[in-house]
Chains A and B, each alone.
Chain A
Amino acid sequence: GAVVSQHPSRVICKSGTSVKIECRSLDFQATTMFWYRQFPKQSLMLMATSNEGSKATYEQGVEKDKFLINHASLTLSTLTVTSAHPEDSSFYICSASEQGAEGNQPQHFGDGTRLSIL
């Protein structure tokens, strides 16, 4: 159980292109979804937290207009990197969590998206 599917797994595109990454919870309802960015050999950097039906909460230093997050349903969140540039190249990982009896439940992670901007 608790499977999170992230798509696509790899994207290579030209500078200036907008790229959409999808994150789906396949067998549970994700009340909260998270988007992370991971640089090589480093830990995960939380970009934003989104709750279904409401606006995402962005971490300090993350541009809202650059990284558009939509969490329209309890099983789907999307991250759109708008007008991507080479410095946006990175590994993006989503995770999802469902509200449980103890107040919070573990995050379950997708397999990540390797974004390469040429």
Chain B
Amino acid sequence: AQSVTQPDIHITVSEGASLELRCNYSYGATPYLFWYVQSPGQGLQLLLKYFSGDTLVQGIKGFEAEFKRSQSSFNLRKPSVHWSDAAEYFCAVGARGYSTLTFGKGTMLLVSP
């Protein structure tokens, strides 16, 4: 069975500082990997996805993520955080050929002035 671990429940970053949110997955084959962002009281927005190819994936809003097979990780990064990035971030893994996703528990990002 596949699983996703987001070790950090919440992270506080100063505005303008760099950000890295951790995600580790467990899956027997090459997974499909996703990062979603959720603002309070709203649904989830897809930031980026990894299916195959280049292991460094660019997403929307200046985010990127790197797939590292050896570490079973798919960490999300942003070089300079903006106050509007404060939200909850979910990492998810899916199996090839199936649309069902397994989500991590999420990391709440707080941005300080």
A residues adjacent to B (C-beta < 8 A): 4, 6, 32, 34, 41-44, 46, 49, 91, 93, 95, 97, 102-112, 114
* A110 vs B36: C-alpha distance when bound (angstroms): 13
* A38 vs B44: C-alpha distance when bound (angstroms): 11
Question: B101 at the A/B interface (Cβ < 8 Å)?
Answer: yes
Asked if B43 and A110 sit within 8 Å, CB to CB, the answer is: yes
Q: List the A side residues contacting B44 at CB < 8 Å.
A: 44, 93, 95, 109
Q: List the A side residues contacting B106 at CB < 8 Å.
A: 42-43
Residues of chain B at interface, number, CB under 8 A:
24
The total number of A-B Cβ pairs within 8 Å is: 57
Asked if A103 and B96 sit within 8 Å, CB to CB, the answer is: yes
Asked if B100 and A102 sit within 8 Å, CB to CB, the answer is: no
Give the residue among B32, B94, B101 with the most A Cβ atoms within 10 A.
B101
| 17 intermolecular pairs with C-beta atoms under 8 Å apart | A34-B100, A43-B90, A43-B105, A44-B90, A46-B101, A103-B97, A103-B98, A104-B94, A104-B96, A104-B99, A106-B49, A107-B46, A107-B99, A109-B44, A109-B45, A109-B46, A111-B43
Q: List the A side residues contacting B49 at CB < 8 Å.
A: 106
Give the residue among A4, A6, A32, A43 with the most B Cβ atoms within 10 A.
A43
* A69 vs B18: C-alpha distance when bound (angstroms): 43
Q: List the B side residues contacting A105 at CB < 8 Å.
A: 99
**Taking the nearest CB of chain B, how far is it from the CB of A52, in angstroms?**
13
Question: B83 at the A/B interface (Cβ < 8 Å)?
Answer: no
Asked if B43 and A107 sit within 8 Å, CB to CB, the answer is: no
Contact among A42, A97, A109 for B43, CB-based, below 8 A: A109
Asked if A109 and B94 sit within 8 Å, CB to CB, the answer is: no
